[in-house]
A and B are shown apart, each in its own frame.
Chain A
Amino acid sequence: MDIRSQISMVFHLDKCIGCHTCSIACKNLWTDRKGAEYMWWNNVETKPGTGYPTKWEDQEIYKGGWEINGKSVSLKGAGKLRGLKNIFHNPYLPVLDDYYEPWTYKYEDLFTAPEGDDQPTARAVSLVTGEPIDVKAGPNWDDDLGGSIDYARQDVNLKGLSAAEQEVMFQLERMTFFYLPRICNHCLNPACVASCPSGAIYKRGEDGIVLINQQVCRGWRMCVTACPYKKTYYNWHTGKSEKCILCYPRLESGQPPACMHQCVGRIRYLGVLLYDADRIEEVAATPNDLDLVDRQLEIYLDPFDPQVIEAARKNGIADSTIESAQKSPVYKFVKEWKIALPLHPEFRTIPNLFYVPALMPGMASVQDGIYEESNTQFLWGGIDNNRVPIKYLANLFSAGNTEKIVDVLKRLMAVRWHRRQTTVGDVAQEIVDKAMGEINLNGDTADAIFRLTSLATFDERFVIPPAHREESIEMLENTADVKGNTGFGFKERPKRGW
């Protein structure tokens, strides 16, 4: 056992209102620099939709992620030989048009335009070329099913759904969508790290955050191809690649990442998971896609198990980190309650961002052209009557394993029945008992799920392990020695001296 700690996350999709506050928080903090305007380390997509960059999930286009190679896995589009073949011309890279051309407006024209018959307008100007452009797309151009024919119907996750099933998804009265906020998954088996020819990308030992060393990066962009989530971006101005850093400077000072802190719907949870690094290869090389979720969950260990604690201590994991792991909301969602699933586990990167899928029971239907409020004898339609096909959710969150999705939705539904019964009391007891019994959920657990979902405080949602980095530096150096000497932004002594 090689126990390590990993900062991981849960996004509760039922709570996401698609306001993009997270994206803006991240943009303002990290990516409003030249060359980074087009990057959205955090973005929110509408599903069904093609996302950002367009069709990022289609690895036949972008060649990201891993594929099984014998008893192990190898990169689909990068790696030694494939990387070398494409190192000077990599056709599988997303181009700017696959993201979008960032733009601003010539606001000063509003004030400086000469007097005329028409009101002055602020023209759109490209942030890349500086020339006026026709805005063609944005990072959330298909928001709220905008341009469904071009985007929603092109969704990669519709594969495996019959034409009839797809058609039903886009019927007027049944049409539905949900939001999918995405950041870097800080994977256990990161394809970007494996693909980097310069060795610039690394996974931090203490918390598993994946970072690109800007001094080592040579801009080969292999990580951009390799990351199946397309969450590494090439900065055309600095010639280096960049990615989500999970706001590690904030984490080190005990604050949650900006996107999570700002989240209006409070959908985001962050905490530590302990995992067994010896099993990464074995889990990533799981032969059957359908087993991937279960195998991945096995890699995360019980932080209360004395053996695990002992092994973790032996590996240098601080007691405070183990304590955080025990309080981790992520552990509860993922391992205890089993209601959060990884996004696209079939990419085999073992992502550490989990999603509680949106529970969208059918509450109305159209029968013979007549709109009916409820098509069931109960308040909500059953899981089978879910507005988003189970298969579609399975394509997103369980590599096609519909059983996993049904299981999660049943749990979510049982909690909902239980709470309805508790607070309103208009549900027949046998319905509640049946829903709870089917998945062996007791009232206390259901209440706990409800509480963490709906009422959780800031400290319950974000259990950040204390960073011991500063403390260890202070043990070795007197940091006051350089106080007043080192300016902001300098890591190394400039030639002219301080």
Chain B
Amino acid sequence: MIISTQPLKATVFIAIFCFISLGLNAQNGERIFKNSCIACHTVGGGKRVGPDLIGITTKRNEAWLTKWIRSSQSLIQSGDSIAIAVFEANNKVPMPDQNLSDAEIKEVVDYIKVNSTTAAVPGAATLATSAPQVPIKSSDIASAEEILLGQHIFEGDTRLTNGGVACISCHNVASNRIIPGGLLAKDLTTVHTRMGGDAGLTGILNAPPFPAMAEAYKNRPLTENEIYAVVSFLNIVEKESATQSATATSPLLKYGFISFAVWIVIIFIVWRHRKKYAVNKRIYERQLKTS
């Protein structure tokens, strides 16, 4: 008996310990998940940009998950067949590398594991995925004013409430509505479909998963209205892009050349009496030269 009870006690103890530690992990994991994953993923909330992560811990082993989370692209490039399959199954949208420690990755995986079980129970709310709690207003029905607001936010004509930088600093959309933007980051012309529609974009703008963008907006989050406006704008841009030439050339270049020509003409008129040649030029030209 003694022999039999000892393992039982140990098992219970370990189970309790595991549960507590798992619970602690899960608490930390929840924070990380909300910061880094929620933009693209749900646990039991359906597919967004990335797949629903419910049951992912049973589907893939932890070592693989850790590698994937650390750098999905490296894993793909190393020729891992599962990784390539996953990549292709998700429209080849690369998952950004996460700057997380091993412990943190473990915490977030544990969090997903715990929530997968709770979500699996019928009727249980997907508490972890906060986004779907409030149904997202469709950007298809956005008013012209809201689209215009989005455009102004994108261009930087309207300042973001919390002082974030305008999208155009890094991003470009091919649209006749605005001038071409930066080329530091992805072109956003077709981002609406590419990144999971309203829900995906709202998630990304809420908590940007991309390192540079996350850093830029860390202390300067967008408000709900602003997010909606930008999403609406990106939606309309994508719809319009079908009827506009895909490679909208910069009008800046054209205007640049025109104004350059105008300035040249002005300079030639204003400075027409300037000293153009050496005073001795005529004399020198007449002189004999040895060569």
Q: Which residues of B lie under 8 Å from residue A93 when comparing CB positions?
A: 275
> Are B274 and A92 closer than 8 Å at their CB atoms?
yes
Contact of B280 among A91, A92, A97, A134 (CB under 8 A): A97
How distant is B85 from chain A, measured CB to nearest CB, in Å?
Answer: 62
Interface residues of A (CB under 8 A from B): 50, 53-55, 61-62, 91-98, 134, 136-137, 147, 150
The closest CB in chain A to the CB of B270 belongs to A85
CA distance A136 to B274 in the complex (A): 24
CA distance A61 to B279 in the complex (A): 9
Q: A54-B280, A91-B274 are in contact. List 11 more A-B contacts (CB 8 A).
A: A54-B279, A55-B279, A91-B275, A92-B274, A94-B279, A95-B278, A96-B278, A97-B278, A97-B281, A136-B287, A150-B283
CB contacts under 8 Å to A, within B236-291, are 271, 274-276, 278-281, 283-284, 287-290
Closest 8 CB pairs of A and B: A97-B278, A91-B274, A54-B279, A91-B275, A150-B283, A95-B278, A55-B279, A136-B284
- Determine chain B's interface SS by DSSP, over half rule: loop
> Are A61 and B275 closer than 8 Å at their CB atoms?
yes
The closest CB in chain A to the CB of B281 belongs to A97
The closest CB in chain A to the CB of B276 belongs to A91
CA distance A137 to B275 in the complex (A): 20
Interface range, B side = 10 to 19
CA distance A94 to B283 in the complex (A): 16
Q: Which residues of A lie under 8 Å from residue B290 when comparing CB positions?
A: 134
CA distance A122 to B289 in the complex (A): 17
> Are A92 and B283 closer than 8 Å at their CB atoms?
no
Q: Which residues of A lie under 8 Å from residue B275 when comparing CB positions?
A: 61-62, 91-93
CA distance A258 to B280 in the complex (A): 31
Q: Which residues of A lie under 8 Å from residue B287 when comparing CB positions?
A: 134, 136
How distant is A54 from chain B, measured CB to nearest CB, in Å?
Answer: 4
Q: Which residues of A lie under 8 Å from residue B289 when comparing CB positions?
A: 134
Q: Which residues of A lie under 8 Å from residue B288 when comparing CB positions?
A: 134
CA distance A62 to B279 in the complex (A): 10
Residue pairs across A and B with Cβ atoms less than 8 A apart, 12 shown, are A62-B275, A91-B271, A91-B276, A94-B279, A97-B278, A97-B281, A134-B289, A134-B290, A136-B284, A137-B280, A137-B283, A150-B283
Contact of A137 among B271, B276, B284 (CB under 8 A): B284
How distant is A151 from chain B, measured CB to nearest CB, in Å?
Answer: 8
If A134-B287, A134-B290, A136-B287 touch, whether A98 touches B279 (CB-CB below 8 Å) is yes
How distant is A181 from chain B, measured CB to nearest CB, in Å?
Answer: 21
CA distance A289 to B274 in the complex (A): 26
Q: Which residues of B lie under 8 Å from residue A97 when comparing CB positions?
A: 278-281, 284
CA distance A53 to B278 in the complex (A): 10
> Are A98 and B278 closer than 8 Å at their CB atoms?
yes
How distant is A118 from chain B, measured CB to nearest CB, in Å?
Answer: 15
Q: Which residues of B lie under 8 Å from residue A137 when comparing CB positions?
A: 280, 283-284
> Are B279 and A53 closer than 8 Å at their CB atoms?
yes
How distant is A221 from chain B, measured CB to nearest CB, in Å?
Answer: 14
CA distance A93 to B279 in the complex (A): 11
How distant is A77 from chain B, measured CB to nearest CB, in Å?
Answer: 10
CA distance A95 to B278 in the complex (A): 6
How distant is A222 from chain B, measured CB to nearest CB, in Å?
Answer: 15
How distant is A357 from chain B, measured CB to nearest CB, in Å?
Answer: 26
The closest CB in chain A to the CB of B290 belongs to A134
Q: Which residues of B lie under 8 Å from residue A62 when comparing CB positions?
A: 275
Contact with A along B25-54 (1 / 0, CB 8 A): 000000000000000000000000000000
Q: Which residues of A lie under 8 Å from residue B279 when comparing CB positions?
A: 50, 53-55, 61, 94, 97-98
Q: Which residues of B lie under 8 Å from residue A61 when comparing CB positions?
A: 275, 279
How distant is B169 from chain A, measured CB to nearest CB, in Å?
Answer: 31
The closest CB in chain B to the CB of A132 belongs to B290
CA distance A50 to B279 in the complex (A): 10
CA distance A92 to B275 in the complex (A): 6
